[in-house]
């Protein structure tokens, strides 16, 4: 672990005061002290509204929110007027589902291992139809995808950039270019990508990109939606902050941000991005590669352990189950006896588990603040539990 990553680990209060091994960052990441301090600072010292009150507290929070919007936009290579603040990734995807102009014959295409947040909004869409492309060993078959795009009226391809099930990252630029060839818009669920990889939305070419703060060392209650052309969406939620004095709906992101925003989380997330930006991407990628490789090699030594969609490339997420063992029971033992936090169950991917006849599984998700000792403690505990 590099000095920069060690400094990051040392800045997380929970890891300083306990011997916790936290391997559930795909659900929610741990928060560095500057993030927590920024949230407390807002509530203690300027708990006012942005873009409304003109007193000093109001002006202070307005300035901080403007800084946050710029910081978040820069983080993904976007412009400030291309960023809409939401409640979470789920909310961002639902915003597209309700605000994009769908016709009765339009089709939304997803794959079989999407999170329910990128599955149920389309399955239950009141206008468009939902179609599913099956993956093989966790990967989308590109020729099969092109055939579907060529023969069906696909309005939107909505897929994860990095899967929350197996950590596999798609060939985004290639898939987006292919979709655009057939006039299909593309939404990327990037919730599991941005803690580990630097991306640029302009280079990717996606029409929409959704993610949330809590998975990138930021606070809960804040999501982000990048929109390449905001005119493709029509506001559906109305209230304070979305109109001019004459009650005409304003243009830009604010038209989709009705009501009082989550200012504390915006400010806190901006600090989380500052923390990530201090670490060279090469150090984050090297650490992930070393930990993922070490984890995979050792998991394979455990009898009857089946890895779901094993990838030849290092991934931040590895899911598995052990034959004739209850995944939830293992997770409980890891927690109570060894103070190791992992995810168990279906990971909000019920369709995939049902189709592949998997009862439940365990998921290990890594973060830049994890180290080799975390992996060794996990393997030692799993080995004892599975004897």
Catalytic center residues: 348
CA atoms within 13 Å, Cβ hemisphere of 92: 26
Among 19, 23, 4, 76, which Cα is nearest to 316's?
Answer: 23
What residues have CB less than 8 Å from 312, skipping those under 6 apart?
none
Per-residue CA distances from 315 to 66, 129, 196, 296, 319 (Å): 34, 32, 10, 10, 11
Among 298, 284, 293, 288, which Cα is nearest to 378's?
Answer: 298
DSSP string, 256-274: G--S---HHHHHHHHHHHH
DSSP string, 175-232: HHHHHHHTT-EEEEE-TTTTTT----HHHH--SEEEEEGGGGTS-SS-EEEEES-GGG
Is residue 268 within 8 A of residue 219, CB to CB? The reply is yes
Neighbours of 354 (CB within 10 A): 12
Alpha helices in 22-55 (DSSP H): 33-45
Among 376, 369, 203, which Cα is nearest to 295's?
Answer: 376
Q: How are strands ordered across the β-sheet holding 129-133? A: 83-86, 223-227, 208-212, 185-189, 154-160, 107-111, 129-133
Residue 246 main-chain phi, psi, to 5 deg = -90, 15
């Amino acid at each position: 672990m590099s000095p920069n990553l060690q400094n990051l680990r040392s800045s997380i209060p929970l890891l300083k005061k306990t011997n916790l091994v936290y391997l559930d960052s795909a659900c929610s990441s741990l928060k560095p002290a500057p993030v927590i301090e920024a949230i407390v600072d807002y509530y203690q010292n300027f708990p006012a509204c942005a873009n409304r009150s003109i007193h000093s507290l109001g002006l202070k929070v307005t300035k901080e929110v403007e800084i946050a919007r710029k910081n978040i936009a820069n983080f993904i290579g976007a412009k400030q007027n291309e960023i809409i603040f939401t409640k979470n990734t789920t909310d961002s995807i639902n915003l597209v589902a309700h605000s994009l102009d769908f016709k009765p014959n339009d089709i939304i295409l997803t794959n079989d291992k999407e999170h329910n947040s990128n599955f149920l909004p389309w399955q239950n869409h009141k206008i468009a139809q939902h179609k599913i492309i099956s993956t093989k060993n966790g990967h989308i078959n590109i020729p099969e995808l092109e055939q579907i795009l060529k023969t069906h009226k696909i309005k939107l391809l909505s897929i994860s950039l990095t899967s929350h099930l197996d950590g596999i990252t798609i060939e985004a630029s290639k898939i987006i270019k292919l979709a655009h060839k057939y006039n299909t818009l593309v939404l990327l669920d990037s919730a599991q990508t941005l803690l580990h990889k630097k991306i640029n939305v302009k280079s990717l070419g996606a029409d929409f990109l959704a993610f949330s703060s809590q998975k990138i060392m930021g606070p809960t209650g804040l999501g982000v939606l990048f929109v390449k052309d905001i005119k493709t969406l029509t506001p559906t939620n109305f209230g304070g902050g979305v109109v001019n004095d004459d009650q005409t709906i304003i243009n830009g992101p604010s038209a989709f941000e009705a009501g009082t925003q989550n200012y504390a989380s915006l400010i806190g997330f901006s600090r989380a991005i500052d923390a990530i930006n201090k670490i060279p991407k090469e150090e984050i990628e090297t650490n992930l590669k070393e930990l993922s490789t070490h984890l995979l090699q050792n998991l394979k030594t455990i009898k009857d352990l089946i890895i779901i969609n094993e990838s030849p490339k290092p991934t931040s997420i590895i899911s598995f189950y052990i034959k004739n063992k209850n995944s939830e029971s293992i997770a409980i033992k890891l927690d109570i006896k060894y103070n190791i936090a992992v995810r168990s169950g279906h990971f909000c991917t019920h369709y995939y588990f049902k189709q592949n006849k998997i009862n439940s599984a365990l998921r290990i998700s890594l973060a830049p603040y994890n180290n080799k000792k975390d992996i060794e403690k996990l393997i030692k505990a799993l080995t004892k539990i599975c004897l």
